[in-house]
Amino acid sequence: MGPLNLTPLSGRKAPIGAMGVIKYTDVFGDRHLTEYCYSANIPPLDVKEFPRGQPIRIYGSYCERHNCADAECGPDWEKRASE
């Protein structure tokens, strides 16, 4: 990504992160559900004056919800794991 492409990210106008759901059956035949969510926190950047070749430090944080496994995902987790 070139420096000009970072403008929306540094202004927090274009969020960046990852989220997903993993459903699987283990070798014993038990179903499982895992949810994850992670959001990147990009600091304000002066994209025109940022030194070329320097790393950009991006920190992240877990979302308040959707970071769980099996029963931690709520009372209906077994139903959702089998859908």
| Residue 34, both tokens | 């895992």
Q: Return phi, psi of residue 6, to 5°.
A: -85, -10
Residue 82 parent element (H or E)? helix 77-82
Closest CA to 18 of 37, 43, 44: 37
pTM for the full model? Answer: 0.66
Domain that holds residue 78: 3-82
Task: Give yes or no for residue 41 having a pLDDT over 80.
Answer: no
Looking at the 3D structure of the chain, how many domains does it have? 1
CB 36 within 8 A of CB 66: yes
Backbone angles phi, psi at 67, to 5 degrees: -130, 90
Q: What is the number of other CB atoms lying within 10 angstroms of the CB of residue 58?
A: 11
Confidence of residue 30 (pLDDT cuts 50, 70, 90): very high
Residue 65 has pLDDT above 80, yes or no: yes
